[in-house]
Amino acid sequence: MLELHAAFLALVGGTELFFAALALLNVRHGAETVAERAQWVSERLGVADTERLVAYQRAGTGLSLLRSVVGLAVVLLVLYSGLFGDVVAALEGVALPPVARGVIFFAALVVVARVASAPFSLYETFVVEEQFGFNQQSPRLWLRDFVVGLVVSLVLVAIVAGGVLLTLELFPEWWWVGAWGLFVAFSLAMLVIYPRVIAPLFYDFEPVETSDLRDAVDDVFERAGFDCEQVYTMDASSRSSHSNAYFVGFGRTKRVVLFDTLIDQMDHEEIKSVLAHELAHWKRGHIWKQLASSALRIGIVLVIFSVLIEQPWLYEMFGVPETAYAGLALGTLWIEPLVRLSAPLENRLSLRHEREADSFAVDVMGSGSALADALANLTSENLANPFPHPLYATFHYTHPPIPDRIRYIERQGDSGNADGHAGEAAG
């Protein structure tokens, strides 16, 4: 048993230590590179105060590290103090069906996790984001979002946990197959439910109708060969001045969402280039490829779970009654570090898709200048780190670093322009 405890602590603690070291290395590398390339950062990205950018990265990283360390310490304390085993034993004494006990268990975990993270969220919002001019929330709005978010999380957890535990009870040998189907169905459903039900609980969405912006949107849709009537602006400025845009859904449910902050910070050509990039994820089938990749990953994880929860040592380590929901929780502690360490495999697919989307946007716009300017604008407005450490980017970045993307886009644009001029000359 001592060997198991040593292996567990090495895996969980070692993984946390590895990612903490990566985060510190990333901040240091970013600060040094920003200082070396201060002129490029100022002239190309439009960041007038590079020290402010570096300070924002340091503040965010420091808070994230503190949150991770405290979280791990609390988890280990709960496990090794016997509190976790006592809670499971008490819950097993409740006269409810096993599935209901499991749903209560996971709902309680969500509540505890949300409440425990609240001080960090408050500090991030009203100290870090406030200090750097991003926060637009009042304490009352933050509390309202916290409560609504907690309720939504509880509903979703009850559905997923209840479904998984039910399949485990009905099909003990092959439960992971049913759970896999449930996760795939849930992922597809969320593509429709999130934009239509969940997101409107937090933000107001206004359709983009007859206007210069709508004309710009229709123009890029026509160029991309894309049909979508549902184009909305979202009042992101009610919470933060960060900017973004996204595409979500499929079939008749697909919609494009533009942050109002994005509209304020960019001209129409830049907005069109961002839209063209987002539309590429649909036109090139990236959404379905990502879903397939996610389904494969979830299937592998569930197979590992099916083996783990059958091991008596998983429960004996912390004196926990052998029950399905406790096994899933304990198994997560072993599997989560492995998922984090395998992130580069998942990120490779996303990186390739982002390259394809950038190329698509250049083709649609006929030039890469607007998209390159848009990316520079986003980096400047959001104080994003333009120079992540390569190893940090390998584990965390689903998009290529901004300087790499700008170089790639400008090369694509030059290549496209060259081909176009050559064609005109030949004609």
272, 365 contact by CB (below 8 A): yes
What was the pLDDT predicted at 418?
Answer: 45
Instruction: Based on the fold, state whether residues 219 and 318 are members of the same structural domain.
Output: no
Instruction: Based on the fold, state whether residues 291 and 267 are members of the same structural domain.
Output: no
Query: One of 16, 124, 358, 373 is an active-site residue; which one?
Result: 358
Instruction: Based on the fold, state whether residues 37 and 158 are members of the same structural domain.
Output: yes
Measured distance CA(127)–CA(119) in Å, rounded: 11
Instruction: Based on the fold, state whether residues 261 and 302 are members of the same structural domain.
Output: no
Instruction: Based on the fold, state whether residues 327 and 378 are members of the same structural domain.
Output: yes
What was the pLDDT predicted at 192?
Answer: 86
203, 238 contact by CB (below 8 A): yes
What was the pLDDT predicted at 423?
Answer: 34
CATH number, residue 276: 3.30.2010.10
Query: One of 278, 316, 410, 414 is an active-site residue; which one?
Result: 278
Instruction: Based on the fold, state whether residues 260 and 392 are members of the same structural domain.
Output: no
Tell me the helix, strand and coil percentages in the chain, rounded to 5. 80, 5, 20
112, 106 contact by CB (below 8 A): no
Residue at 257 is within a domain:
yes
Residue at 249 is within a domain:
yes
Residue at 424 is within a domain:
no
Structure tokens at 391: 């190893």
Measured distance CA(322)–CA(334) in Å, rounded: 17
278 is catalytic: yes
What was the pLDDT predicted at 415?
Answer: 63
Residue at 422 is within a domain:
no
Instruction: Based on the fold, state whether residues 235 and 306 are members of the same structural domain.
Output: no
Residue at 420 is within a domain:
no
> How many CB atoms within 10 Å of residue 309?
22
Instruction: Based on the fold, state whether residues 179 and 275 are members of the same structural domain.
Output: no
What was the pLDDT predicted at 414?
Answer: 65
What was the pLDDT predicted at 381?
Answer: 87
Last residue of a domain, one of 256, 280, 304: 280
Task: Name the residue among 118, 195, 108 with its Cα closest to residue 154.
Answer: 108
Residue at 361 is within a domain:
yes
Number of domains in the chain: 2
pTM above threshold 0.75: yes
Q: How many Å from the N-terminal Cα to the C-terminal Cα in the chain?
A: 78
Range of the domain at 266: 206-280
Q: Which residues, in sequence order, are CB contacts of 92 under 8 Å at separation 6+?
A: 101, 321, 323
Residue at 177 is within a domain:
yes
Last residue of a domain, one of 260, 280, 300: 280
**Where is the binding site for Zn(2+), in residues?**
277, 281, 354
What was the pLDDT predicted at 131?
Answer: 93
Residue at 421 is within a domain:
no
Instruction: Based on the fold, state whether residues 332 and 355 are members of the same structural domain.
Output: yes
The SS3 assignment for 313 reads helix
318, 89 contact by CB (below 8 A): no
CA distances from 298 to 62, 178, 295, 301, 337 (A): 31, 12, 5, 5, 15
**Where is the binding site, in residues?**
277, 281, 354
Instruction: Based on the fold, state whether residues 232 and 381 are members of the same structural domain.
Output: no
363 is catalytic: no
Tally of residues, the chain: 427
Instruction: Based on the fold, state whether residues 297 and 251 are members of the same structural domain.
Output: no
What was the pLDDT predicted at 413?
Answer: 64
Last residue of a domain, one of 249, 280, 311: 280
Instruction: Based on the fold, state whether residues 146 and 258 are members of the same structural domain.
Output: no
Mean pLDDT by 10 residues, the chain (427 residues): 91 96 96 94 90 95 95 94 94 91 95 95 94 92 95 94 93 91 91 88 86 85 78 88 79 80 88 89 87 92 93 93 93 94 92 93 90 91 92 94 92 60 33
